[in-house]
Structure 1
Amino acid sequence: MINARTLWRDRLQNHAKEMNRYLRLMFNDHFSFAMFFFLVGMAYVYQQWLSSLPEDFPTAWLMAIVFGFVIAYSPVRTLLKEADLVFLLPAESQLGPFFRNGWLYSFFTQVFYLFFIVVAFGPLYFTSFPERSITEYVLFGVVLVVFKAWNLLAHWWEVNSRMGYSGYLDTIFRIVLNTLTFYFIVVGDALLFAAITTVLFFGVMMYDYTLAKKRRGIAWDVLIEKESARMQAFYRIANLFTDVPHLKKTIKKRHWLVSLLKGPISHTSENSYDYLYRITFVRSSDYLGMYFRLLVIAGALVYYVPNMWVKLGFAFLFLYLSGFQMMTLWQHHRHLDWLELYPVPLEQRKSALLKWLFQLLLAKTFVLGVVFLFLWNLVGLAFVWIGGSLLSYVLVYMYLSKRLT
């Protein structure tokens, strides 16, 4: 006899303990300082943007689209493990409270995140609709919470019907109906249409329920696969800050980019780690994507932020973040004992990594300078190229070099 409530409590405690362990390492002093600076800068930019908001700005559509996607993304955390397919499957009839607690846990955590998004959109909402009261916005928030619960139920039934495992039509329908409903509510004078789309959404939800009831039972393999994928996504982010032994590495070939980066390297023992770190950066599932995502975000902020000094602040901030996150290349191959067979001194290995990090930061500095050049901001161009190069050198050779142990 399995006590489903005790099982859930134990799983949740272990999950929280593991998450907290990595979150403490991720939000260290350096990253917390960078995030504080980023949030303060974004708040300043947001305030400046609202002060010159055009009268015809599509606030209703922007809020509807953002909330449509946020509400539609409603995964149910089950905290299942691969071994459960063997050990818990025979006791499926006793696990109703376990899965109900998983649904409630998912609902309250997602409503918590939703609260911050609602608060963030508040200034835009009241700037666009100054005649509206706080009560109307609170009621809109209540509608979002109700739709979040409905989307969680629809997703749960969709997964257990296995329809969502082979296609995304259900998710697309929910996104469209969410978006239209929220648009009609924000506009304020189309509540009849909001009622119609709500009824249609309820019909989609009941259709998912009917399919799930026809199948009967829990789609264990699908739930375990989705739970594993979510944990691996978290581990990939955490791995940019610290060692994550649970991370399953994935490799992508990217032949053309590998050929481009390894071309200038001569095939000598002195360049062994130059070759290795470049190939690792390109082929690993972590570093290349993170590098370009930070570059795109930094470029967008530099382009759209009106104040030049804030532009420079964001440019230097993202150079700083890139340096710290790319430094985890040093530990990437720590579990490969055959690297110890390389007849290459440790100092040469450090030198190869530091040189590659410096080149990556210089490349990002150059691109951010090009954004200033495109804006014809020559003063900003000079500051970011000179200051970014100096920051990259100091960060890599005077600070990060001391952390390579």
Structure 2
Amino acid sequence: MFDSNAFFKNRFSAHLKETSRYLHYIFNGHMAVAMLFFISAIAVYYQQWLANLPEDFPTALVVGIAFGLVASYSPVRTLLKEPDLVFLIAAESKMNAYFRNAMIYSFVIQLYLVLLVAAALGPLYSATYPERGGQVYLLTVSVMLVFKVWNLFANWWMLKVRAPGIRQTDLITRTLLSIAVFYFLINGDMILTAITTALYIIVFLYDYNVSRKQAGILWDLLVQKDLNRMQTFYRIANMATDVPHLKSKVKRRGWLTSIVSNVPFQNKHTFNYLYRITFVRSGDYLGMYVRLIIIGGLFIYFVPQLWMKVLFALLFMYMSSFQMMTLYHHHRTNMWLDLYPVENKLRKQAVLKWLYQLGIIQTVLFAVVFLPLQLYAGAGITLVGGLLFNYLFVNGYVKLKLV
């Protein structure tokens, strides 16, 4: 006889084993060092900023938006896989215990986000409302947990609705109402808090009523959403180690491909062409590279001390080069590369050359960020130091790792 409770325990055990293996690489590798540096630097500047907090700073709005978004972000992790579309549909009536456990797991796994946001915004709340005790803030966090449970149930009910437009509208409505509830609560408007809470409950009951009218579970939707979340996790893990489960989407990007693929038509440039268009057309590398440049540029622009600006520039150069190293293994499962009439050593040289060129572009862009701030010395230090770091890192560390 099928036991869905035992089935969930087996599925959860396998899921935990797989994710913990990649988390070990993430938090024990170079990414952990970068994250520690980020958190330490942000904590220092956050404390300095709170010491000079403007009196008109909209704390209620900031905290209300953050709490509302955290409460509304309540996806249901079902841990379903593609074969379940065939083997579990017949046991749908016996899956109540499985989905109940999935709801509990989904809530518990998201508590880290609640604790993280509550801990980050606690000092801001205390600095703005020193007359309020810590118990008032803890009560607000407790309310956020209640709304998170409600949103979790509402999201589960709406997963029985096929139309994506209805699900999206419902999510936006609940998110806006959650933000309004916490804004009015933190602002001290209890009457408006009660009104917006009542409106939220109406939407909540509407979702329940809609779900009761649906024929059954949308297995394909549940499987697809869980696969998408796992792919997101794999992309993060891919920053620290090679992930064979990662599925990359290919995008055409014709105009950009025509620019980077402008290499001489010779055998020795075969891998130069291959890895350039892989970088551009793969769904991961280009986006990651651009995001790191934008985030790094924002840090350089807003961090006050000059030496910290330069350190952040070097840190983001390091992160980009480290993460782009996986480009070398992108075609590891493609047997056709072994048939190319090209020496294998040219493959490694092509990757090193492309990473070096990407590092030069990033260095120049980071140096340009200093110019509007009239920090010409910082621009020069970043340019010279970045080029030197890029050369040593690519031809030293990266070259040894590409095997």
Offset at residue 302 of structure 1 (A): 0.9
Whole-Å separation in 2 of the counterparts to 1:168 and 1:353: 42
Whole-Å separation in 2 of the counterparts to 1:241 and 1:276: 23
Spell out the pairing of 1:385-404 with structure 2 (5 A cutoff): 385-404=383-402
Whole-Å separation in 1 of the counterparts to 2:28 and 2:133: 40
Query: Is the partner of 1:2 in helix, strand or coil?
Result: coil
Spell out the pairing of 1:231-380 with structure 2 (5 A cutoff): 231-263=230-262, 265-380=263-378
Spell out the pairing of 1:3-402 with structure 2 (5 A cutoff): 3-164=3-164, 167-188=167-188, 190-263=189-262, 265-402=263-400
Offset at residue 341 of structure 1 (A): 1.6
Offset at residue 165 of structure 1 (A): 6.2
Whole-Å separation in 2 of the counterparts to 1:117 and 1:81: 31
Return closer, same or farther for 1:29/1:111 CA change in 2, 3 Å cut-off: closer
Whole-Å separation in 1 of the counterparts to 2:163 and 2:190: 32
Question: How big is each residue's C-alpha offset from its partner over 1:79-113, in whole Å with a ceiling of 9 and x where there is no partner?
Answer: 11111122111111111111001001111111232
Do the aligned partners of 2:4 and 2:96 also contact (CA within 8 Å) in 1?
Answer: yes
Do the aligned partners of 1:305 and 1:311 also contact (CA within 8 Å) in 2?
Answer: yes
Equivalent residue letter for 1:206: L
Question: How big is each residue's C-alpha offset from its partner over 1:234-253, in whole Å with a ceiling of 9 and x where there is no partner?
Answer: 12222333222222221000
The TM-score with structure 1 as length reference comes to 0.97
Deviating more after overlay: 271-280 vs 41-50:
41-50
When the two chains are superposed, the root-mean-square deviation of aligned CA atoms in Å is 1.3
Whole-Å separation in 1 of the counterparts to 2:125 and 2:311: 28
Query: Is the partner of 2:332 in helix, strand or coil?
Result: coil
Whole-Å separation in 2 of the counterparts to 1:187 and 1:289: 39
Query: Is the partner of 1:297 in helix, strand or coil?
Result: helix
Whole-Å separation in 2 of the counterparts to 1:29 and 1:162: 42
Offset at residue 64 of structure 1 (A): 1.5
Do the aligned partners of 1:111 and 1:148 also contact (CA within 8 Å) in 2?
Answer: no
Whole-Å separation in 2 of the counterparts to 1:252 and 1:70: 32
Offset at residue 52 of structure 1 (A): 2.2
Deviating more after overlay: 342-351 vs 317-326:
342-351
Offset at residue 118 of structure 1 (A): 0.6
Identity %, equivalent residues: 48
Query: Is the partner of 1:160 in helix, strand or coil?
Result: coil
Whole-Å separation in 2 of the counterparts to 1:23 and 1:165: 35
Offset at residue 216 of structure 1 (A): 4.1
Query: Is the partner of 1:215 in helix, strand or coil?
Result: coil
Q: Across the two proteins, how many residue pairs are aligned to each other?
A: 403
Do the aligned partners of 2:352 and 2:394 also contact (CA within 8 Å) in 1?
Answer: yes
Equivalent residue letter for 1:367: L
Equivalent residue letter for 2:303: V
Whole-Å separation in 1 of the counterparts to 2:400 and 2:318: 16
Query: Is the partner of 1:54 in helix, strand or coil?
Result: coil
Offset at residue 164 of structure 1 (A): 4.2
Offset at residue 63 of structure 1 (A): 1.5
Deviating more after overlay: 25-34 vs 312-321:
25-34
Do the aligned partners of 2:66 and 2:117 also contact (CA within 8 Å) in 1?
Answer: no
Question: How big is each residue's C-alpha offset from its partner over 1:1-59, in whole Å with a ceiling of 9 and x where there is no partner?
Answer: 21111111101100000001111122333222121111111111211222222111111
Whole-Å separation in 2 of the counterparts to 1:165 and 1:58: 33
Gapped regions of structure 2 (runs ≥ 5): none
Whole-Å separation in 2 of the counterparts to 1:247 and 1:7: 25
Whole-Å separation in 1 of the counterparts to 2:109 and 2:26: 20
Offset at residue 127 of structure 1 (A): 1.4
Question: How big is each residue's C-alpha offset from its partner over 1:335-375, in whole Å with a ceiling of 9 and x where there is no partner?
Answer: 11111122222222111111110111111111111111111
Equivalent residue letter for 1:256: W
The TM-score with structure 2 as length reference comes to 0.97
Whole-Å separation in 1 of the counterparts to 2:191 and 2:308: 45
Query: Is the partner of 1:401 in helix, strand or coil?
Result: helix
